[in-house]
Amino acid sequence: MKRLKISILLLFVICFGFHWNSKAQPSTENLFLGVETSKDIFPGQNHRFSIELDSGLQASGHIKQNGVNLNISVFSPTGKVLLSQDLQKNVHSAEPFSFETTEKGKYLVELLPVQGNIIHLENDKNRFVWDGERRVPYEAINQQGTYSILVEKADKGKTFSERIDELFRFYDRKEYPGVAMAIVKNDEVIYSKGYGVANVEYDIPVTVSTVFHIASVSKQFTGFALATLHHEGMISLDDAIQEYIPELQIESKITIRQMLNHTSGLRDQWMLMALAGWRMDDVITQNQLLKMIYNQKDLNFKPGEKYSYSNTNYTLAAQIVHRVTGKTLREWASERIFKPLGMDNTFFYDDHEEIVKNRAYSYDDRSGSLKKSNLNFANTGATGLFTTAGDFSKWLINFNEENVGNQAIFDLFTTKGILNNGTEIHYALGLALGEYKGHPVIDHSGVDAGYRSFMMFFPKDTLGIIVLSNIASCNTIQLAMKVADICFDIKTKPEVVCHESSETIVPYADTKEIDKNILEQYTGNYYCSELDTRYHFSIKNEKLVASHKRLEDIEFLSKGADIFKGTYWIFDHVEFVRDKEGKVYGFNVSNEGVEKITFIKTDGF
């Protein structure tokens, strides 16, 4: 009997001890060069692999993430951390990686589920994929999913160009959208290349001459135009924008400088268009945007009070260029910037029907399959510039040589904005200023449809980098930074992500139950004069639902007394308002680009 008790106790210790140890030190599986491995993974797990590699190699590969976001860490045979990264936060994306082997032996690869982002589409029937500068509120999740990992290559090559190519190896495929990049040092291009395809349907490769839409990287050329006009005495940056655009109904004085610094308080044009029922793949012209902007009567905040990025600012800036010079922004920039610099394939695209040779088309792969991501913009100032990596490198060189412009213009162009209280902000005239690993840097990103772009210029190092892509999952910012690391030969010690994550997952909406009788009080027809649009609220399946003639029905989730959040993300915060008798007479909508725009309850629809 005593032996039986000991045996049972021993069995208990072995079983439960093994279970505890397996959690602390999960089993390690073998990886083989060129062989893809697929697995399911759950939150709280970490998967470990080992791969035998020689010393002095540049190893590269990728992880295909499906419903889960993973951090990858790589350790040398002696336990040295070689890599720990999570570049692609989206749970449906590919995570490319590369590392240098320091010795011969078994390298440990560890994968850990971490908080990732998913565009909240499950309940959103208006599935227009917006993100980046239009600030779609991603839902943060950490859930189970599947992945596949492949270490596809390990070469001896360690030249500068080979190290750069390793960064972009994932995009160097014949059937997949890609990337074009260029690096300039002093007055010359030291490396440039294209990877992947510009047009998936026809397998047209990306080259340094491929024309990309670069979204908000366009803003710096608009800012440069107004800095030049200021220097030439045609305007003053401290003039009120109303002097040049009297159609504006905003009474508060907004200076051109505040407009360019994003401290104007003007509502974001894309948020306004979306609330009015527009899709972002609609044809959207300059005049259509201006009509919407001119109809606004209120600001998000007092001019100069704070910084808030708004694309409206730069659409109006383009209009000021037109009013002052008699030329469109496209005409002025081509004459004063692009032609003098030999940027022959660069222009503001203001006609959506115009045919452009060697153009890259836009794609999105974040929903699990590759799809077209259509863009039909015909507006300029905030966006709309078409250029190539080769052309943009000439602009980066101009930051150093100043063949176009002069020191006074560039000083004005790169001077940070100041708020009313004296606080200096990071944004200048279409450019952000900061520091990267001890190096002063000027940069800007761009996001429209599936296009991604990022530029960096290091003034003290006279180094410039441009990365352009036509696939939505491409993290051009991180890629450009990794290029900078190679250029500066920076070897930063990676920080390994802890196994036990302390991150708090924020749900799309922390909803509350609400009585049907109360819901009835919100039903009816609502009209916004500033947007010239209407919504009809009704109850369907015991849920408050809004209908619009151009949109799919939107469900509203209760967050408290008279406060809701829509399943169409532009209705981020909706607060119904009541009169003295307690009757609902309207509601206000707020999101990151619009603050309290009002809809009034009406009799008709």
Q: What is the predicted pLDDT for the residue at 532? A: 97
What gap in Å lies between CA 592 and CA 137, rounded to an integer?
9
Q: Are 435 and 414 in contact (CB under 8 A)?
A: no
Count Cβ atoms within 10 A of the Cβ of residue 34 and give its class: 0-12 exposed, 13-18 middle, 19 or more buried: exposed
Q: Among 442, 474, 506, where does a domain finish?
A: 474
Q: What is the predicted pLDDT for the residue at 493? A: 64
Residue 509 DSSP label: -
Identify which of 445, 442, 361 has the alpha carbon closest to the alpha carbon of residue 177. 361
Q: What is the predicted pLDDT for the residue at 118? A: 65
Is there a single domain that holds both residue 466 and residue 521? Answer: no
Per-residue confidence band for 485, with pLDDT thresholds at 50, 70 and 90:
very high
Q: Are 198 and 470 in contact (CB under 8 A)?
A: yes
Q: Among 416, 445, 474, where does a domain finish?
A: 474
Specify if 291 maps to a domain: yes
Residue with tokens 């135009």: 225
What gap in Å lies between CA 189 and CA 209, rounded to an integer?
14
Per-residue confidence band for 342, with pLDDT thresholds at 50, 70 and 90:
very high
Q: Could you tell me the CA-to-CA distances from 382 to 289, 313, 412 in Å, in that order?
A: 11, 7, 19
Q: Among 417, 451, 474, where does a domain finish?
A: 474
What gap in Å lies between CA 343 and CA 390, rounded to an integer?
8
Residue 306 belongs to a domain with what CATH number?
3.40.710.10
What gap in Å lies between CA 391 and CA 387, rounded to an integer?
6
Is there a single domain that holds both residue 151 and residue 70? Answer: yes
Helix/strand/coil for 542: coil
Is there a single domain that holds both residue 132 and residue 219? Answer: no
Residue 43 belongs to a domain with what CATH number?
2.60.120.380
Is there a single domain that holds both residue 551 and residue 446? Answer: no
Question: Percentage of the chain surpassing pLDDT 70?
Answer: 87
Mean pLDDT of the chain: 89
Is there a single domain that holds both residue 219 and residue 352? Answer: yes
**Is the predicted pLDDT of residue 393 greater than 50, yes or no?**
yes
Ramachandran angles phi, psi of 431, nearest 5°: -140, 150
Specify if 493 maps to a domain: no
**Structure tokens given for 557:** 């989730």
Is there a single domain that holds both residue 425 and residue 563? Answer: no
Is there a single domain that holds both residue 372 and residue 431? Answer: yes
Q: What is the predicted pLDDT for the residue at 121? A: 46
The region of weakest confidence among 17-21, 280-284, 504-508 is 17-21
**Is the predicted pLDDT of residue 141 greater than 80, yes or no?**
no
Is there a single domain that holds both residue 450 and residue 536? Answer: no
Is there a single domain that holds both residue 234 and residue 137? Answer: no
Residue 535 belongs to a domain with what CATH number?
2.40.128.50
* Paired residues of 9 in beta bridges: none
Is there a single domain that holds both residue 424 and residue 293? Answer: yes
Specify if 526 maps to a domain: yes
469: containing domain:
212-474
Specify if 31 maps to a domain: yes
Is there a single domain that holds both residue 309 and residue 361? Answer: yes
What gap in Å lies between CA 3 and CA 12, rounded to an integer?
14
Entry field: residues in the chain = 605
pLDDT in tens, 470-482: 998 899 999 999 9
Q: What is the predicted pLDDT for the residue at 158? A: 75
What gap in Å lies between CA 128 and CA 273, rounded to an integer?
13
**Structure tokens given for 532:** 């010239």
Specify if 498 maps to a domain: no
Helix or strand run (H / E) with residue 39: strand 37-41
Q: What is the predicted pLDDT for the residue at 114? A: 87
Q: What is the predicted pLDDT for the residue at 13? A: 41
Specify if 486 maps to a domain: no
Q: Which residues contact 555 (CB under 8 A, 6 or more apart)?
A: 123, 543, 544, 545, 566, 567
Is there a single domain that holds both residue 104 and residue 236? Answer: no
Specify if 366 maps to a domain: yes
Per-residue confidence band for 483, with pLDDT thresholds at 50, 70 and 90:
very high
Per-residue confidence band for 369, with pLDDT thresholds at 50, 70 and 90:
confident
Task: Give the residue ranges of DSSP H helices in 359-474.
Answer: 389-401, 407-413
Specify if 247 maps to a domain: yes
What gap in Å lies between CA 204 and CA 198, rounded to an integer?
6
Number of domains in the chain: 3
**Is the predicted pLDDT of residue 166 greater than 50, yes or no?**
yes
Helix/strand/coil for 392: helix
Q: What is the predicted pLDDT for the residue at 115? A: 81
Pick the residue with more confidence: 112 or 121? 112
Per-residue confidence band for 428, with pLDDT thresholds at 50, 70 and 90:
very high
Q: Which residues contact 168 (CB under 8 A, 6 or more apart)?
A: 179, 181, 193, 195, 479
